[in-house]
Amino acid sequence: MKSLLYAVLSLLILSQTVMADDKSAAEEALKSKLEAVLLVLQKEEVEHEAKKKEIIEIVSPIFDFSLMAKLILGRKFWPGLVKEKKERFTELFVKRLKESYLENLTRYTKARIVYNAPIQVKRKIYIPTELISKDDKISMLYKLYKSKHNWKIYDIEIEGVSIVINYRSQVNQILSSGTIDDLLTKLEGPENQ
């Protein structure tokens, strides 16, 4: 009986340790990338476009852009699409997402990031951060999941607004009156179209 109790206790402690490990691993993965991005942003001598290219190279491994595209279409739209359309949508949306992320991030050349304690939600880790610049403070919640190899971002909540759901609402409004081709055509155009 005693041994069973020990076994349960050690399992609990072990799982806590695993959770703690997950949190710090996810935080570490995120932190390393974001700090690298901040360093790039601070480089005054580098051209804007070059900065963008460099940032994309840094963040691409941690962002699961394909998953984000899939989640944006959601279980209502995604399964109904043929493979080619899925690929085309993913390709266009990843491009759009990257552009949007860069556009917003490159405004903050002299910013710092404060990391708050990570939160475990089921098998995912949410890392609340604050992007602090001279006259603004934006709360950003990075949502990560453990892919086959490493921790990856699948959504960011900016001031409480999820970018996946936000894009999904745009997709919904296009699909409510048009077809998937209309959506693809719009994505091919400029962002504010």
Partner 1 sequence: MTKLHSLARHFFDKVILDRPGLVIICLLLVVAFLGYKAKDFRLDASAETLVLQNDKGLRYSRLIDSRYGLQDYLLMTYASKDDLFSDKVLANLTRLRDELKQLDRVSSVVSILDVPLLESPPGPVKELLSNIQTLESPTVDKKLARIEFSNSPLYQNVLVSPDLKTTALQIKFPIDEIYQDLLARRNHFREKQATNRLSAAEVAEFKKVTAQFQKHRDKMKKARHQDIAVIRSIMDNYRQDAELFLGGISMIADDLITFIKNDLKTFGLGVLFFLVVTLGVIFRKLRWIFLPMLCCAFSAISMMGLVGLFGWEITIISSNFISLQLIITMAITIHLIVRYRELHFNNPEAEQRKLILDVVCLMLRPCLYAALTTIAGFGSLLLCDIRPVITFGWMMSAGITVSLAATFLLFPTMLMLMRKGTPEARQNSHFSLTSFLARFTEAHGVMILVVSCITLIISVIGISRLVVENSFIDYFKDKTEIYQGMIVIDQNLGGTTPLDVIIELDKPEALAQKLAPETDAQNDDEFDEFDEFDEARYGDKYWFTSNKMAQVEKIHDYLDSLPETGKVLSLETIMKIAEKLNNGKPLDNFELALLYSKIPNKFKSTVLKPYVSVEHDEVRFSIRVRDSEKSLKRDKLLKKIQHDLISILGLEEEHVHLTGMLVLYNNMLQSLFSSQILTLGVVILALKSMFLILFRSLKIATIAIFPNLLSIGAVLGVMGWLNIPLDMMTITIAAISIGIAVDDTIHYIHRFKQEFRVDRNYINTVYRSHGTIGHANYYKTVTIIIGFSILVLSNFIPSIYFGLLTGLAMLIALIASLTLLPQLLVIFKPFGPEVGVNQ
Strands 151-158 and 112-115: unpaired
Nearer to partner 1, 43 or 137 (CB): 137
- The site for partner 1 (CB under 8 A) is made up of 67, 70-71, 74-81, 121, 123, 145, 154-155, 158-166, 168-170, 172-177, 180
Nearest approach in angstroms of CB 178 to partner 1 is: 9
Nearer to partner 1, 44 or 84 (CB): 84
For residue 144, give every residue at least 6 positions away whose Cβ sits within 8 Å of its Cβ, in sequence order, or none.
26, 29, 30, 62, 124, 125, 126, 127, 151, 152, 153, 154
- What residues does 112 pair with on adjacent strands? 132
Give the angle 110-154-104 at the CA atoms, nearest 5°: 30
CA 102 to CA 108: how far, in whole Å?
Answer: 10
Nearer to partner 1, 40 or 90 (CB): 90
In Å, the largest CA–CA distance within the chain is: 68
Nearer to partner 1, 58 or 67 (CB): 67
Nearest approach in angstroms of CB 46 to partner 1 is: 28
Nearest approach in angstroms of CB 42 to partner 1 is: 25
Helices and strands: H and E segment counts in the chain:
6, 6
Nearer to partner 1, 34 or 73 (CB): 73
Nearest approach in angstroms of CB 29 to partner 1 is: 19
In the structure encoding, which two tokens stand for residue 22, read together? 């997950």
Phi, psi of 63 (to 5 degrees): -90, 130
Nearest approach in angstroms of CB 191 to partner 1 is: 10
Nearer to partner 1, 78 or 115 (CB): 78
Nearest approach in angstroms of CB 166 to partner 1 is: 5
CA 44 to CA 41: how far, in whole Å?
Answer: 8
